[in-house]
Structure 1
Amino acid sequence: MADTKPGAHPFAPLVLDDAGSLEDMAAAVMRLHSTLMTVGRCYTTDATGDRAALELGRVESVLAGAFCTIFGQSPADRFADIFDQVTYVAEHMVKDHIFEDGNKRTSLVFALSVLRFAGTPVVLSDSPEPKDNQYYAWIQDLVSSRRTNSELAEELRCGFVAGTGDLSLV
């Protein structure tokens, strides 16, 4: 299970050191991607067979790199906080181009969902105009490397909705 102990630092990275939690999170990413492709405008369908297995394996690899202890180094040793951690995940998911379509959407929504799950919801400007939409700018800057991961994680930190019990904002 994810390390979300009461009293733990609210920004601490999540740790998923059991296979069940990692598998559950990977399955959630796959369901999220499928849902986003169903409701979004896309030109591909769900992968099947070998392609689906390859996608799942790549998702599990990215998640293990972010959420599991590797060579004795826990996520808390590798990431300053959960904002750094989800920026890392989003970067690797989108730049590895795991899916045929919807990589940016899936990466962004997954990152925001992890933050919400961890009790650190983020709200940025969601303007219908791409040039004024902070979510769009965030993922585009991640893909193009216009800003560093540290700068992108800082934007998420600044968008953190402190002290709110209303998670419907995200």
Structure 2
Amino acid sequence: MGNAEDGAEPIALDGKQMRMDALAESVFEVYVETIRGTGLDITPTAPAAVDERILGRVQSVLGSTFLTFFGITPRERYADVFEQISDFASRFAKDHIFPDGNKRTAVKMALAILAMHGWNVRADDAEEPERNELYQWVQSIVTGRCDAGELAAFLREHAVRLEG
């Protein structure tokens, strides 16, 4: 549905350290909310108290997706925001930054980042995993059944531009 001409250009956060820091904090908040009530003892419970090694890993995934590397901008690396978000979710889900909840956090953050940039992903979010398109999407990431291009195609197919 989307392409660079209709507002689906990749996101570049170069020179926007405050936005990168806020995005990293959002990842922690989403993670904590995702696993709250699952029985996993979460210490720390607030993003500000997160281990610096974990923070570095989160920032590494975010930076490799949203910042310029070796002079190549995100807009040069990715065809559109859907390809970029698929790369982010793939890296995040596979990196196992947190003890639990990495796939759920990856999906929630991918959808949230797209929404912040004007896109809503409409997919079946059924309780049964076999009918849940988002669950199947993230499982395809971690099992290697799909590559980032196929995942980006899923997002393009299911994305609708938000009004406003």
Give the equivalent residue in structure 1 for 2:79.
80
Partner of 2:52: 53
Higher relative contact order (CA 8 A, sep 6+): 2
Q: Structure 2 vs 1, CA of residues 46 and 12 (structure 1 numbering), >3 Å: closer, same or farther?
A: farther
CA-based RMSD of the aligned residues comes to 2.1
2:18 aligned residue: 20
In the comparison of the two structures, how many residue pairs are matched? Answer: 158
Distance in 1 between residues matched to 2:38 and 2:115, nearest whole Å: 25
Residues 13-71 of structure 1, C-alpha deviation per residue, up to 9 Å, x if partnerless? 11101222211111111111111122x52423134899621111100011000001111
Task: Say if 1:66 and 1:88, in contact at 8 Å, map to a contact too.
Answer: yes
Offset of 1:148 from its aligned partner? 1.2
Q: In structure 2, do the counterparts of structure 1 residues 72 and 46 end up closer, same or farther at CA, with 3 Å as the change threshold?
A: same
Supply the AA of the counterpart residue of 2:116.
F
TM-score, length-normalised on structure 1?
0.85
1:110 aligns with 109
- Distance in 2 between the 1:94 and 1:26 partners? 15
Question: Unaligned 5+ residue runs, structure 1?
Answer: 1-6
> Are the aligned partners of 1:42 and 1:102 in contact in 2 as well (CA < 8 Å)?
no
Question: Structure 2, unaligned stretches of length 5 or more?
Answer: none
For residues 108 and 49 of structure 2, what CA distance do their matches in structure 1 show?
Answer: 25
- What is the rounded CA distance, in whole Å, between the counterparts of 1:124 and 1:107 in structure 2? 16
**TM-score, normalised via structure 2 length:** 0.88
